[in-house]
A and B are shown apart, each in its own frame.
Chain A
Amino acid sequence: MMHIISALVENKFGAFNRVVTMFSAKGYNIHSISIGETEDPTVSRMTIVTEGEDKVIEQIVKQLNRLIDTIKIIDMTNQPKVQRELMLITVSYQKGTRSEIIDICEIFRGNVVDINNRTIMLEITGPPDKIDAAINVLEPFGIKEIARSGTVVLRRGEQIRKLPKEYESDHKKINGDKK
């Protein structure tokens, strides 16, 4: 099963590398990975989409926690969350098909970001299944190139990083242990 793991890591030389090295050293696969700064410039957020049985995912989370440069690891899979991915996709068009492609783009609430006399580039964002659906629909026109950013997620309704470990149990008491 696919899991989405959100990792807050030190924004330091080598930290990203350490995470990726752990995955390859232990033989875990990475479906997608994205990284960027957070509201605190000393912290980066990595969002890793990986696949494995529960036991494997549990090991991945523990192994990530064990790295010195990781600050907090959350398996977001079953959390209330907003999940997005950005895709740039270049599609060929013929005389009659250009407006059809632009229609599709609108249905997916995308933008046309580049065009020349043979191809058109679209920008589409959304959850990964929406991106997959867009690719499927555009396939028959002739896809030239795709770039996907990888998934990013945030938990709904709270800022995870502002919640140090010590307060976690209090937090649970207040909010009730969500099961």
Chain B
Amino acid sequence: MNTKKNKMSGADIFFECLKREGVEYIFGYPGGAVLPIYEKLYDIDFLKHILVRHEQGATHMAEGYSRATGKVGVVLVTSGPGATNTVTGITNAYMDSVPIVVFTGQVPTHLIGNDAFQEADICGITRPITKHNFLVRDISELASTIHQAFYIASTGRPGPVVVDLPKNVMNSITEFNYPDKIELRGYKPKVFGHQNQIKKAAMMLQKAKRPLLYVGGGVIMSGGNRELYLLAKENNLPVTMTLQGLGAFPGTDPQSLGMLGMHGTYWANQAVNHCDLLISLGARFDDRVTGKIETFARNAYKIHVDIDPTCIDKNVVVDLPIVGDVKHVMAELASEITRKPDLDEWWEQINKWKSECPLEYDMSDGRLRAQFVIEKLSELTKGEAVVVTDVGQNQMWTAQYYKFNHPRSHITSGGLGTMGFALPASIGVAFAVKDRPVISISGDGGFQMNIQELVTAVYYKLPIKIILLNNSFLGMVRQWQELFHAEKYSFTDLSDGNPDFVKVAEAFGVKAYSTDSPHNVEHLLREILDYNDGPVMVEFKVAKEDMVFPIVPAGASISDMIIRRLDPKEMV
């Protein structure tokens, strides 16, 4: 126990705790209930407060920062509307297991429950969307609560934690006691996998003829990319990744099969269908990955490594569960393998699938395609950039055509699919990443959600490269309308409603370009990559009716994937 005998206010204790947690940035927005905190903040210099333009933006920024660094992202907002504006961002972090701590102001304790001005029961509201949350009712609990919040957010399966801070608690005075140890009798995350289970997994792997590693975001979160690389390389194993797993294994490596699932590559999904051993590493058998559960990897013995026991047997019943930190489990698994499996035949088959149905798009009509832009971007940046994407076709094309070579380089809203994520998240990334380009990719729809954060990027002179893929449509919804809803393009055509994006960007102070010609793509990409005087945007006007292929229709078996749009000639 630290027993300094000096008395401190709640607001002072708040900052002292953040200092001890090593917080560098707070993404925040002030208001009445957090005035005591902002009063202290005025003179604080060990961390930087980033003023956002909407509290949702703050949560996505904290998430971007966290996903780029592995550290906990921190948000500070006021009570009532400030707190409720964070709900989407908190849910997003919950669905993608990202450690953020959100501090919300609250009305004074004696007014709680009175429908006081700007009172909202944010603990009640966020209970199902947080890993845990706290209402600090007494200053004596403040320091230990903040300490626990950071611990809970960042350990085990990470996730968001909300700490609700009534105004009077921030104003009261007490002795500061920072607990060195955290004792939570109901929370003891398990790190090491069961030894015997790991031995069994190694045995299965040595016997397998058609093994496949199915890698999710958990590998990146655990910092296990090196262990994955060794396990895969030493045993010549094919690796397929989920949307959140991209970057865990180098996309340019011949052993990478790219993404699996709804918009996965043909050869990755074929490998899933035909493998005899599926090892899931930090992935959760999401419905966007499995398609129809009953037919998913139906011939395979399934091993599931995850730190969260609730993930195991939730969607797919597996043959061998291993609960533990995937980084440790992979290292141990690799060390248990004495005889490498012979996979020549399996690789021959996979490579045949690959040449049968490569990813392709058609630009013979001369009109620009988003896939071309992403392919060029991947080439020019050599897979070294941090790419933040929004939701929709732009997201899927980036996942398919950008070859991510590093972990923490593909940052996207997966579980929740939150449009408006990319711009604020890329701002959070840009505070953390200075040595690699930070690229934000949005569609014309999503760019207009949280567009206000352009100001934040300009104000802090963040050299974010914004790529706007403007197809004048809510493209992904349009795609489903074309394929599954009788071509009724109900409220997805934005062509008459979209603003002049270049003018909008310029009004915010962002340097901006626009083109609809494939010939301009390379030099404009070079232009924005070289531009370092704050944010820069380029709008690519792409073909309206293009679709993301392959696609596995929702709920269908992944063997029923649609490879490309039927050519009218083929339809006769």
Q: Which residues of A contact B (CB under 8 A)?
A: 9-10, 13-14, 17-18, 21-22, 25, 55, 58-59, 62-63, 65-71
Determine if B185 and A65 form an interchain contact, defined as CB atoms under 8 angstroms apart.
Answer: no
**In residues 105-128 of chain B, which contact A (Cβ within 8 Å)?**
123-124, 127-128
Determine if B128 and A71 form an interchain contact, defined as CB atoms under 8 angstroms apart.
Answer: no
Q: Which of B132, B308, B310: most chain A CB closer than 10 A?
A: B310
Give 9 pairs: A residue, B residue, CB < 8 Å, sorted on A. A10-B186, A13-B137, A14-B135, A18-B127, A59-B314, A63-B310, A65-B310, A66-B310, A71-B186
Task: Give a binary string over B179-197; 1 marks a CB under 8 Å from any A CB, 0 the rest.
Answer: 0000011110000000000
Given A13-B137, A68-B184, A71-B185, does the pair A25, B128 have CB atoms closer than 8 Å? yes
Given A13-B135, A14-B135, does the pair A65, B309 have CB atoms closer than 8 Å? yes
Q: Which residues of B contact A (CB under 8 A)?
A: 123-124, 127-128, 131-133, 135, 137, 152, 184-187, 308-310, 312-314, 317
Bound CA–CA A69/B152 (angstroms):
12
**Of A17, A22, A63, A70, which contacts B124 at CB under 8 A?**
A17
Determine if B135 and A59 form an interchain contact, defined as CB atoms under 8 angstroms apart.
Answer: no
Instruction: Determine the residue in chain A with the shortest Cβ distance to B308.
Output: A66
B502 CB, min distance to chain A CBs, angstroms: 44
Instruction: Determine the residue in chain A with the shortest Cβ distance to B161.
Output: A68
Determine if A21 and B186 form an interchain contact, defined as CB atoms under 8 angstroms apart.
Answer: no
Contacts of B309 in A (CB 8 A): 62, 65-66
When A and B form their complex, which 5 residue pairs have the shortest distance between CB atoms, in order from nearest? A25-B128, A62-B310, A68-B132, A21-B127, A71-B186
Instruction: Determine the residue in chain B with the shortest Cβ distance to A42.
Output: B185
Further pairs besides A21-B127, A55-B313, A65-B309: 19, Cβ < 8 Å: A10-B186, A13-B135, A14-B135, A21-B128, A22-B128, A58-B313, A59-B310, A59-B313, A59-B314, A62-B312, A66-B308, A66-B310, A68-B131, A68-B132, A68-B152, A68-B184, A68-B187, A69-B186, A71-B185
Q: Which of B131, B137, B187: most chain A CB closer than 10 A?
A: B187
Contacts of B317 in A (CB 8 A): 55
Bound CA–CA A62/B135 (angstroms):
25
A134 CB, min distance to chain B CBs, angstroms: 38
**Of B123, B186, B313, which contacts A70 at CB under 8 A?**
B186
Q: How many A-B residue pairs have CB under 8 A?
A: 43
Given A68-B186, A71-B186, does the pair A14, B123 have CB atoms closer than 8 Å? yes
Contacts of A25 in B (CB 8 A): 128
Instruction: Determine the residue in chain B with the shortest Cβ distance to A9.
Output: B186
Bound CA–CA A25/B152 (angstroms):
21
Q: Which of A21, A22, A62, A67: most chain B CB closer than 10 A?
A: A62
Contacts of B314 in A (CB 8 A): 59
Contacts of A65 in B (CB 8 A): 309-310
Contacts of A13 in B (CB 8 A): 135, 137
Instruction: Determine the residue in chain B with the shortest Cβ distance to A69.
Output: B186
**Of A9, A17, A58, A63, which contacts B127 at CB under 8 A?**
A17
Determine if A67 and B186 form an interchain contact, defined as CB atoms under 8 angstroms apart.
Answer: yes
Bound CA–CA A63/B311 (angstroms):
10
B2 CB, min distance to chain A CBs, angstroms: 24
Contacts of B185 in A (CB 8 A): 10, 71
B196 CB, min distance to chain A CBs, angstroms: 14
Contacts of B186 in A (CB 8 A): 9-10, 67-71
Contacts of B124 in A (CB 8 A): 17
Instruction: Determine the residue in chain B with the shortest Cβ distance to A62.
Output: B310
Instruction: Determine the residue in chain A with the shortest Cβ distance to B157.
Output: A66
Bound CA–CA A22/B133 (angstroms):
14
Bound CA–CA A14/B121 (angstroms):
12
A140 CB, min distance to chain B CBs, angstroms: 45
Instruction: Determine the residue in chain A with the shortest Cβ distance to B184.
Output: A68
Bound CA–CA A67/B131 (angstroms):
8
Instruction: Determine the residue in chain A with the shortest Cβ distance to B187.
Output: A68
Contacts of A63 in B (CB 8 A): 310
Contacts of B123 in A (CB 8 A): 14
A164 CB, min distance to chain B CBs, angstroms: 9
Contacts of B133 in A (CB 8 A): 14
Instruction: Determine the residue in chain B with the shortest Cβ distance to A26.
Output: B128
Bound CA–CA A137/B435 (angstroms):
79
Bound CA–CA A71/B184 (angstroms):
9
Q: Which of A10, A14, A70: most chain B CB closer than 10 A?
A: A14
Contacts of B308 in A (CB 8 A): 66
A1 CB, min distance to chain B CBs, angstroms: 18
Contacts of A69 in B (CB 8 A): 132, 186
Instruction: Determine the residue in chain A with the shortest Cβ distance to B131.
Output: A68
Bound CA–CA A17/B128 (angstroms):
10
Bound CA–CA A59/B309 (angstroms):
9
B357 CB, min distance to chain A CBs, angstroms: 36
Instruction: Determine the residue in chain B with the shortest Cβ distance to A70.
Output: B186
